[in-house]
Each structure stands twice: as structure tokens, then as C-alpha cells.
Amino acid sequence: MAEPTAERMTAPMATRTEETLARAVEVSRRYGDVLALDGLSLDIRSGELVGLLGPNGAGKSTLINLFVGLRRPSSGRVELLGGSPADPARRRGIGVTPQETGLPANLRVREVVDFVAAHYPSGVERGALLERFGLSGLERRQIGGLSGGQKRRLAVALAFVGSPRLVFLDEPTTGLDVEARRSLWEAIRHFHAEGGTVVLTSHYLEEVEALAERVVVIGQGRILADGTTAEVRDIAGVRRVTLTCDDLPGLPELPGVLSTERDGARTHLLTTDADTLVRSLVRADVPFSDLEIRPTSLEEAFITITARESRAA
């Protein structure tokens, strides 16, 4: 039997549910005057597919860089697979796709895959990997001859080369068209369905909603919300109240209305308190019809959370 490696020794833990694979405890990270992370705590548990969502500069990439050992926290503690992210043995259990990758233009696709695979004790079969990421038939192509979308898919595929337990994907679908994005989602779902754990960041809110079970909203280096997509919507508590009303300019000052939008005969009001809004409309005798109230999209909820946060700051 082969000698147990650090990876094999941690393997039995993989069968336990709720194992914490990555943990940030009261983590702050400063770059000069910029406080990129501000006392943030987060646990990533085995089997989760977590979407980190936040505006530019929120601290998402910094958090990933701390988890994967590329940066150290200014204060606080980061753990990866039960140890330090600086430990190469822990890092062999993860896969990473950074926000930007500069793969050598003169290397062939298969050479890059094999080079990365050589850093891991076991890996996936090259042909199967390339097929899953829509790169079949490109083994002999030089990186410089790939399209932008193919390069990005290869960069994401490389995170999966070493059969990791946990992958960190920083904006995996940037620059991909709709079809390529959807097939990448399929590959990520496949990994997750087989027990893999995924942390991804995205600006595509549709992507987080489509993929993630757990959404962590980050703003100004802190966690603003952490829950299921439905819970994050509830945290925002934002509802879209739509009605037909000819006399919009005559509407009284309405409570809790965040935005008003006119779409032909219909008026959409985004509100944190739909019940009070509707009561006020009735009390003010506003002649509305076809009233409709529904939850907002995650995007709308997200904008509301961040807007509230910056107003509070």
C-alpha cells in the first residue's frame, strides 16, 4: 500500500458532513491606507457552493487570496483544510482560478494541463477534463492561438486538474458568451454534484443566483448578508409593487419607497415595506388597479443592501 500522504490522511474527514474546509476568523487586510477586509469571519463547509457577491473593491479577491495562501492577513486567522494556507500539503487539496491569468503563449494546452497536474498527487484524466470544459481537440494548440473565451475556460479547467476537494474561482465566467458561460456552469455543477466544494465570486448576479446555494454579500471588507438566495432577498426585504395608475406625479409621499420606475401604463415601486405602502395608497385614495407584489431579484436586493450600507457609513 502507498505511504499515507497529508492528503490521504485528511481524506476520511471528507465523509463527515459540515466539515469546515476554509475559515476566516476576524480577518483584516490592509494595503497601505486601504482596509480591504475589516474583521471578516467566514466558514466554508464541505459540499457547499458559495457565491461571494459584492461591488468592485469589496474585498472578494483579497479574501480568496488569503484563503489560498497568496496573501497573509494583517490581523486575524485563516485556516485551509484544517491547517495553514501557507502549507503546500493543504494547498494541494485545493484548486484556484485567479481573476486574471497570464498563461505562457507558446505552450500547448496539453503541456499546461500536464504541468499543473504534475504538482498534484493524483489528477483527472486530461481528455475528460478538456471535454468537460469544451476544449476537446485543442490539446496541441498553443495558448497564444486560443480565443479569449477558450483561454478563460482553460484557466478555470486548471483549477480542477488535481481532483481538489475545494475550488476557488474568482469571476470564472468573465469574458465568456452566454453559451460558454452556461456550459461552464454545467462543469461547476458537475464537480459540486460529485461532492466538490466551490467558492466563486461573480459580478453576474444571474450567475450567483443560478449556481450558488449560499450567497455571501461582501461590501467594504465586511459581510453584509449570508444566506440562501431566498434569505438574502428576505434580508433586503425589498418588494416590487407594480400597479397601473395614471396620476403618478400626484402620488403622495410614499413610505419606504426606494425607487420608482414607469413602464408604459405600469408603475414599479421598490419598497422595503410593501404592506405599509399599499395601506398608504388606499388611505390616500390613489386610483390604482392591477396591483401586483413580488420579491425582487437578487440583483435588486443586493443593490439595496449595499446602498443601505453606504448610507449608514
Ligand X SMILES: Nc1ncnc2c1ncn2[C@@H]1O[C@H](COP(=O)(O)OP(=O)(O)OP(=O)(O)O)[C@@H](O)[C@H]1O
Element of type H or E holding 103: none
CB of 219 to ligand X, least distance (A): 9
Q: What's the CA gap between 125 and 162, in Å, rounded? A: 10
Identify which of residues 57 and 255 has a Cβ nearer to ligand X in the complex.
Answer: 57
> Of 61, 150, 197, 296, which lies in the binding site for ligand X, with binding defined by CB under 6 A?
61
Q: Are 119 and 92 in contact (CB under 8 A)?
A: yes
> Of 57, 127, 137, 287, which lies in the binding site for ligand X, with binding defined by CB under 6 A?
57
CB of 130 to ligand X, least distance (A): 28
CB burial class (10 A; 0-12, 13-18, 19+) of residue 258? middle
Q: Which stretch binds ligand X (CB under 6 A): 54-62, 112-120, 204-212, 233-241?
A: 54-62
CB of 54 to ligand X, least distance (A): 5
Identify which of residues 31 and 282 has a Cβ nearer to ligand X in the complex.
Answer: 31
3-state helix/strand/coil string of 214-230:
EEEEEECCEEEEEECHH
Identify which of residues 127 and 148 has a Cβ nearer to ligand X in the complex.
Answer: 148
Does position 59 interact with ligand X (CB under 6 A)? The reply is: yes
Does position 175 interact with ligand X (CB under 6 A)? The reply is: no
Q: Are 286 and 261 in contact (CB under 8 A)?
A: no
Q: Which three cell numbers stand for residue 12?
A: 476520511
Q: What's the CA gap between 50 and 229, in Å, rounded? A: 10
CB proximity list for 105: less than 8 A, separation 6 or greater:
142, 143, 144
Alpha helices for the chain (secondary structure H): 6-10, 60-67, 88-91, 109-117, 126-132, 148-158, 178-193, 205-211, 229-236, 274-283, 298-312
Q: Which stretch binds ligand X (CB under 6 A): 57-65, 102-110, 259-267, 289-297?
A: 57-65
Does position 56 interact with ligand X (CB under 6 A)? The reply is: yes
Does position 34 interact with ligand X (CB under 6 A)? The reply is: yes
Identify which of residues 74 and 242 has a Cβ nearer to ligand X in the complex.
Answer: 74
Does position 60 interact with ligand X (CB under 6 A)? The reply is: yes
Number of residues this chain uses to bind ligand X (CB under 6 A): 12
Identify which of residues 80 and 277 has a Cβ nearer to ligand X in the complex.
Answer: 80
Letters for 94-133 (x = contact with ligand X by CB under 6 A, - = none) are -----x----------------------------------
CB of 187 to ligand X, least distance (A): 22
Q: Which three cell numbers stand for residue 107?
A: 505552450
Q: What's the CA gap between 90 and 117, in Å, rounded? A: 16
Q: Which residues bind ligand X (CB under 6 A)?
A: 31, 34, 36, 54, 56-62, 99
